[in-house]
């Protein structure tokens, strides 16, 4: 009965025309929905496709920088002073973090870096989109295992990688000379010095040789562009640039002498303390007068440079810069400025002779006190009433009266630039130009200077006392131990001043070939007559012998030492001890200067320390019998 079926159905359909209508409406609705989908897909893929492509790249491409190891620093005998060790660093790849704030907070707890500091690191790199940022260097094994267990589940985007770190095989030795490395900051990045090849996050030399030779020591970073999957696992390397290690720097420093110098300085300080002087600090320099090479440079108090490795806490830094702790970061050899005391008398001698104020044979009667002729109100004291002294004896015995007279003659002859001229010729008042950063220039006072700094009318005037005090290295004259080492180097080298330096050569880390060498360089030749030079050299030999102002410190020492002590008075402090020497006196190889703050007289602590250094410099030449007299200086001493 086909008709029944078809007829009845079609009739029923006719009863409900709305069914077809509504089905059709559903079709219209479908078209609408498909329209929405296709429009939205068009928007995503075609209109903003590039944006999403960049995001996809950001997802998968990661740049893992490979920090180039810095060059190592060795002493002149290839003894390593600064090396690299394989450290570990924690890196963060910000786009991979799912909940950055929470993760940074958790990470902060693990690596002991404040969330702010982590954020600061990330911000510094926010334009390098594919780069993993180092947020903590030198992590402990505990931190490492903790993080490795929890990455990438709890710390997505956090990774651990090898990171070369500085190490100091000689401990605190030469800490001030070597300096340290630290991360370049925003301000430094803008300096002209760092315009070529430096980028945020770089480790740069922050002080000492690390700073001075950064250009050589710094390598060229490399890195790998890797493709990672969602869990951060590297899948393939897209491109890679090898890191080029920095060049090695050979210093003029001799590690053995450096060690001996530091020991000697410590010994001098202890000696002064045993005699109840505060002796809170000091410095020492050993250099070759003929080349200007610095063989040792020590400063106390010192510190262990490894505290800088991996970044230090604020508390640690405060401790290192606390004046109460004696400013251990200060390299007193080039940054400490002191009245040079009697070590200055050689300058006054040259000035007096060359400017015609005195002759070698002229004598002065030392009665213990001296005053400006016609003005007995201001009394200048001498350390001892030496009687009639000529120039030679004045230097040997460090006679103040003689040099008061020299100073006064400059004043009296209205030559108020004579002393100054010779002080400057011999290097005072300006940095010596040693290849170390932060060198102080000291001070050579003159009438212009007084005019500038004086507060009152009388303060602004150059008075007789200014010349008189200056002639014995007191008053307003200031010098760094390095400057005084240069003065005595000039004398040891017959008036030829060599440019001081601490960098010897730069070598290739792979081939060990010399890339650059710093040759001895003549800074200037002092216009001093050979006779006058010989006179001072002879006097300095006498000044180191028994019977001189320092007593028997160097009694019997071979080879013969030439030297001069200094005892500088500083208002409100114990005396500052100096000793400047060179040896062998007839063919000087070494100039040694020791300065001890509040270490008493030059012979109390500085000269014995110099002797210790000399013993190390001339180990064979030293007769064993002579060592017994080292510390038994009882004679009245001056300088």
Partner 1 sequence: MEIRTYLRHFDYGLLAAVLGLVVYGLVVIYSATHSDPNLPSPYYYVKMQGIAAIIGAVLMAVATFVDFRGFRAYRNYMYAGILGLILIVFFIGTTAMGGQRWISLGYFNLQPSELAKVVMILVVAGFLADRQRGDLEAQTTMMTLGLAALPAVLVFLQPDFGTTLVLVAVTLALLFVYGTRWLHFAAIGAAFGAAVVMVMEVLPLAGIHLLKQYQVDRLLVFLHPDQDPGGSGYHLLQSKIAIGSGLLTGTGLFNGTQTQLNFLPEHHTDFIFSVLGEELGFVGAALLLALYLLVIWRGVRIAIISESLFGSLVAGGIVAMLLFQIFVNIGMTIGIMPITGIPLPFLSYGGSSMVSNLVAIGLLESIHVRSRLIGDRRYRRAQAAA
Residues that bind partner 1 (CB under 8 A): 2, 6, 9-10, 12-13, 15-16, 18-20, 22-27, 29-31, 33-34, 36-38, 40-42, 44-46, 48-53, 55-57, 59-60, 97-99, 227-231, 235
Closer residue to partner 1, CB minimum distance, 24 or 454: 24
SS3 of 498, please?
Answer: strand
Q: What is the DSSP string of 536-566?
A: HHHHHHHHTSTTBTTBTTTTT-SS--EEEEE
Q: How far is the CB of 133 from partner 1 (least distance, A)?
A: 19
The torsion of the CA quartet 591, 267, 276, 381, rounded to 10 degrees, works out to -10
Q: How far is the CB of 327 from partner 1 (least distance, A)?
A: 48
For 228, phi then psi, to 5°, come to: -120, 155
Closer residue to partner 1, CB minimum distance, 99 or 519: 99
Q: How far is the CB of 17 from partner 1 (least distance, A)?
A: 9
In sequence order, the 6+-apart residues with CB closer than 8 A to the CB of 427 are: 483, 486, 487, 490, 497
Q: Which two tokens stand for residue 511?
A: 């081939």
Would the CA dihedral through 401, 407, 410, 411 be positive or negative? negative
Q: Which two tokens stand for residue 152?
A: 């990438």
As a residue count, the chain comes to: 639
Residue 368's DSSP bridge partners are: none
Q: Tokens 């005595």: give the residue.
A: 488
Closer residue to partner 1, CB minimum distance, 39 or 215: 39
Burial of 602 (0-12, 13-18, 19+ CB in 10 A): buried
Q: How far is the CB of 518 from partner 1 (least distance, A)?
A: 53
Compute the distance between CA of residue 158 and CA of residue 104 in angstroms, rounded to an integer.
10
Q: How far is the CB of 238 from partner 1 (least distance, A)?
A: 11
> SS3 letters for 71-111?
CCEECCCCCEEEEEEEEEEEEECHHHCCCHHHHHHHHHHHH
**CA nearest neighbour of 599 among 338, 257, 325:** 338
Q: Which two tokens stand for residue 138?
A: 């030198």
Q: How far is the CB of 151 from partner 1 (least distance, A)?
A: 15
Compute the distance between CA of residue 223 and CA of residue 229 in angstroms, rounded to an integer.
19
> SS3 letters for 112-137?
CCCHHHHHHHHHHCCCCCCECEEEEE
Closer residue to partner 1, CB minimum distance, 6 or 519: 6
Closer residue to partner 1, CB minimum distance, 152 or 360: 152
Neighbour count for residue 235 (Cβ, 10 Å): 10
For 296, phi then psi, to 5°, come to: -155, 145
Closer residue to partner 1, CB minimum distance, 31 or 560: 31
Q: Which two tokens stand for residue 556?
A: 């019997």
Closer residue to partner 1, CB minimum distance, 53 or 367: 53
Compute the distance between CA of residue 260 and CA of residue 257 in angstroms, rounded to an integer.
5
Closer residue to partner 1, CB minimum distance, 62 or 125: 62
SS3 of 447, please?
Answer: helix
Alpha helical stretches, state H, 125-171:
141-150
How do the residues of the chain divide into helix, strand and coil, expressed in percent and rounded to 5?
A: 40, 20, 35
Gyration radius (Cα) of the chain, Å: 37
Q: How far is the CB of 521 from partner 1 (least distance, A)?
A: 59
Q: Which two tokens stand for residue 264?
A: 């000697």
For 504, phi then psi, to 5°, come to: -105, -55
Q: Tokens 């780069």: give the residue.
A: 131
Closer residue to partner 1, CB minimum distance, 36 or 241: 36
Burial of 7 (0-12, 13-18, 19+ CB in 10 A): exposed
Closer residue to partner 1, CB minimum distance, 197 or 234: 234
Q: How far is the CB of 55 from partner 1 (least distance, A)?
A: 5
Q: How far is the CB of 33 from partner 1 (least distance, A)?
A: 5
Closer residue to partner 1, CB minimum distance, 28 or 457: 28
CA distances from 241 to 66, 99, 131, 144, 200 (A): 9, 32, 14, 26, 18
Q: How far is the CB of 227 from partner 1 (least distance, A)?
A: 7
Q: How far is the CB of 53 from partner 1 (least distance, A)?
A: 4
Closer residue to partner 1, CB minimum distance, 62 or 612: 62
Q: Which two tokens stand for residue 82?
A: 């600064």
Closer residue to partner 1, CB minimum distance, 34 or 215: 34
Closer residue to partner 1, CB minimum distance, 98 or 516: 98
Q: How far is the CB of 146 from partner 1 (least distance, A)?
A: 21
Burial of 474 (0-12, 13-18, 19+ CB in 10 A): buried
Q: How far is the CB of 99 from partner 1 (least distance, A)?
A: 4
Q: How far is the CB of 127 from partner 1 (least distance, A)?
A: 20
Q: Which two tokens stand for residue 615?
A: 């013993």
Closer residue to partner 1, CB minimum distance, 89 or 228: 228
Q: How far is the CB of 23 from partner 1 (least distance, A)?
A: 4
């Amino acid at each position: 009965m086909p008709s029944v079926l078809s007829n009845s159905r079609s009739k029923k359909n006719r009863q409900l025309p709305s069914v077809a209508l509504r089905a059709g409406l559903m079709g219209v609705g479908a078209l609408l929905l498909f329209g929405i989908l296709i429009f939205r897909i068009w928007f995503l893929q075609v209109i903003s496709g590039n944006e999403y492509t960049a995001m996809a790249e950001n997802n998968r491409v990661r740049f893992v920088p490979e920090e180039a190891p810095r060059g190592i620093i060795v002493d002149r005998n290839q003894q390593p002073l600064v090396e690299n060790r394989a450290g570990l660093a924690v890196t963060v790849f910000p786009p991979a973090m799912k909940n950055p704030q929470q993760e940074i907070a958790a990470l902060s707890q693990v690596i002991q870096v404040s969330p702010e500091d982590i954020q600061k690191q990330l911000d510094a790199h926010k334009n390098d989109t594919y780069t993993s940022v180092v947020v903590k260097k030198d992590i402990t094994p505990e931190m490492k295992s903790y993080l490795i267990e929890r990455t990438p589940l709890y710390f997505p985007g956090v990774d651990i990688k090898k990171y070369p770190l500085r190490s100091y095989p000689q401990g605190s030795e030469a800490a001030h000379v070597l300096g340290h490395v630290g991360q370049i900051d925003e301000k430094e990045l803008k300096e002209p010095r760092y315009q070529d090849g430096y980028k945020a996050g770089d480790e740069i030399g922050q002080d000492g040789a690390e700073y001075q030779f950064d250009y050589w020591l710094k390598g060229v970073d490399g890195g790998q562009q890797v493709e990672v999957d969602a869990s951060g696992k590297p899948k393939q390397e897209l491109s890679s640039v090898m890191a080029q290690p920095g060049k090695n720097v050979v210093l003029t420093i001799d590690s053995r002498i450096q060690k001996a110098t530091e020991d000697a300085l410590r010994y001098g300080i202890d000696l002064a303390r045993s005699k109840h002087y505060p002796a809170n600090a000091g410095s020492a320099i050993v250099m070759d007068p003929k080349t200007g090479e610095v063989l040792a440079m020590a400063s106390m108090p010192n510190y262990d440079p490894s505290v800088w490795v991996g970044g230090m806490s604020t508390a640690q830094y405060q401790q290192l810069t606390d004046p109460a702790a004696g400013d251990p970061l200060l390299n007193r050899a080039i940054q400490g400025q002191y009245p040079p005391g009697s070590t200055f008398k050689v300058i006054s001698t040259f000035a007096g002779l060359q400017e015609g104020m005195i002759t070698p044979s002229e004598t002065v009667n030392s009665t213990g006190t001296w005053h400006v002729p016609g003005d007995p109100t201001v009394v200048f004291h001498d350390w001892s009433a030496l009687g009639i002294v000529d120039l030679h004896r004045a230097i040997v015995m460090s006679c103040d009266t003689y040099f008061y007279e020299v100073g006064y003659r400059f004043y009296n002859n209205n030559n108020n630039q004579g002393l100054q001229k010779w002080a400057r010729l011999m290097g005072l008042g300006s940095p010596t130009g040693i290849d170390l950063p932060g060198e102080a220039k000291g001070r050579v006072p003159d009438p212009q200077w007084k005019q500038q700094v004086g507060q009152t009318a009388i303060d602004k005037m150059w008075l007789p006392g200014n010349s008189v005090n200056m002639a014995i290295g007191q008053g307003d004259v200031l010098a760094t131990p390095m400057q005084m080492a240069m003065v005595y180097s000039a004398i040891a080298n017959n008036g030829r001043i060599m440019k001081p330096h601490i960098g010897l050569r730069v070598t290739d880390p792979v081939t060990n070939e010399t890339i650059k060498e710093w040759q001895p360089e003549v800074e200037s030749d002092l216009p001093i007559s050979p006779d006058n030079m010989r006179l001072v050299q002879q006097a300095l030999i006498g000044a180191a012998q028994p019977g001189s102002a320092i007593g028997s410190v160097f009694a019997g020492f071979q080879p013969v030492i030439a030297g001069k002590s200094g005892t500088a008075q500083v208002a409100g402090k114990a005396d500052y001890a100096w000793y400047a020497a060179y040896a062998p006196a007839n063919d000087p190889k070494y100039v040694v200067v020791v300065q001890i703050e509040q270490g008493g007289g030059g012979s109390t602590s500085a000269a014995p320390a110099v002797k210790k250094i000399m013993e190390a410099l001339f180990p064979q030449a030293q007769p064993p019998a002579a060592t017994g007299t080292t510390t038994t200086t009882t004679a009245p001493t001056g300088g």
